[in-house]
Structures are given as structure tokens and as C-alpha cells.
Structure 1
């Protein structure tokens, strides 16, 4: 089961997805809200946190989670204080009951990663792509539109039309025609 524990938060934050199952993992921590109380309300305890990237809205609650649950925080940029354990392109990690491939997808941020489970057709896209063809900002330090487009196209090479769920860093998750939303994001990024 996947739930966005930041769904009701009014502060500026990223989504934060609790993936339940054999290995309880939070994808991104969100920022500016009491994530520990929310996790506790969902049964408490975590096995790990994985980060799509280290922008403040995605890692703001990292220290609180580390203190409350003593969990490792995985991310691509091991030089960042929020990251305890490294992720690399092609790594496989367990979220909930399924294995996800780490896809390094720079462009919005140099350390950006997506997580994809082929067996279940689930993609955690962070700020790479959003619903209705949106895609991550490229006007921030370390961002680059051409690199972002290349990352979207590399994800399209891995996923297929059986993509069932697209969980994004902001806005609603997509559970119908998810592949088309990623394709539309690539077309939108090419057109700019």
C-alpha cells in the first residue's frame, strides 16, 4: 500500500509517500510539518527513507525522522548531510514488498533519482515529471532543461504502457493512463 502522508499539509512541502509492506519505507520526507506524528498515525516505525533529491522541500523533515526512528536515509548525493547511504543508477532496493530500480535522472537537480518497480508498474518520479505533462523546474542551480529531457526520455526507455501508478513530488498521483502523462511531459519539454 502506498499513501501520501503529506496530502493534507498546508505548508510548502513535497509529497512524502509511505510504502507499506515487508519493508516500510518513506519516499521523500516532506518539509514544514510533523511527519513523525503522521507516520505514527499510520502505524509507526520505518525501515528506511529514500530521497528522490535533496531540495529542501523534499528533505526538510529528514532530521526528525532520523531522530525518531533511527533509520538510514538513502540518496544519490552522499556529500549532503541528509544522506546516510548511497544510491547509484541501476541499484535495486526494496520498498514495501517489491523491488525498485534506481534511475538517476538529473536535470531538475544533479542528484535526482526515480524509483521504478517493473513487476507492479509503479514509478516514483520525484520532480522529474508531473500529471498532465508537467515537468521539473530547470531554473534552479544545477538544473538543465536538455539534461531533464534526456532523463525523461531515459525513463520512457525503461517504463512501458503498463505503467499503473505515477507518484510525483508535487500534485496528485496518476493511476490512469500513467504512461501517457510521462510521454506528454517529454513532448512538453521538447517543445520549449
Structure 2
């Protein structure tokens, strides 16, 4: 379906975001790590409560909600799949960043989730995490690494991904039930996306 030019109404109780898909089709030049004492830890068959907690702390403000709506069986089927890799960025002994790589499609890697907790934004931790993400992805025989972000995300997200070597190739509109209205997320998060109930 092609949306008409101009404004399109979004029903009350819904949220809408512009989603930008970005990709790289060749390994980019290595970039130096910023100064910092971060490490990366792989979580093999991550515990669901652990995953949900880290996912919430990193993504709640940016309305990451799809995984939070999954039941245990649905979530485990994804994050315990052999072609899915989950990593935590560790800062001062605490897990403060999430990286999830999906190798289920031959020759490709999707950066499904990527982000750091609020206290690490602007510190260089995201650059460190992206450097590790690209090393891990391109250590395999790939033709493409890709991801998507949206207008609910940090305002610098698209520019960050482009500086990392990704180029935009597709744009979509995503409409969903507002997760703050069904208890998936607190009403107090994502103030940059107003709640419209009626």
C-alpha cells in the first residue's frame, strides 16, 4: 500500500514511527575504540528474566516493546536459537548495553538490537559496542550486515549508523498499539512520543 501525500490519521491508542533500514555490503575499515573500560560478554542461552531486564533498561525509553510483549515460549524460541547471538556490554561490572545478532539468513547478519543504557549515552560506549558488533558480524562469510531504526529512537541514531558505515536503503511507516497504554511500558517513558488516548 502506498500512503498518499500529506497527513494520515493515526487512531487514538496507536503510535506511528518512520522506520529507516540501513545496510553495509562490505566490511568497513576498522575504527579505533574510544577510551573507556568496557568489555563485551556473550550470553549463551540467556535467562529470560535477565534478557528482559537488560532489554528494558536499554530500550524502554525508545519504546522497544515487541520482545516485551512476547510470552516465555515465544521469546525463548528466538533468543535461544543457535543462529542468534546475544551480548551484554559491561561497564563497571554491570551489564549496561545490549547487542543481538541474527545470522539466520545465509550470508547476512541483522543487528536486531543495539544500544546502551541512558547513563552511557555520549560516553563512547556505543562506539565500542558497534566496533565489536561489526567485528563479530564480519568474522563470518557475509555479503551484508543490516539493521533498522525509527523515529522513536535517539535523535542521533541514524547519523551514528551512517558514521559506522551503514547506508539507508528503505523507509517504512510502522503503526502499533501504544505499549504505555497496555502496561507493556510505563506511561512515564518516551516523553518525546506523546500519548493520545482519545
TM-score range, shorter chain: 0.3 to 0.5
Relative CO higher for 1 or 2, CA cutoff 8 Å, sep ≥ 6? 2
Greater strand share, structure number: 2
For the pair shown, the structure with the greater C-alpha radius of gyration is 2
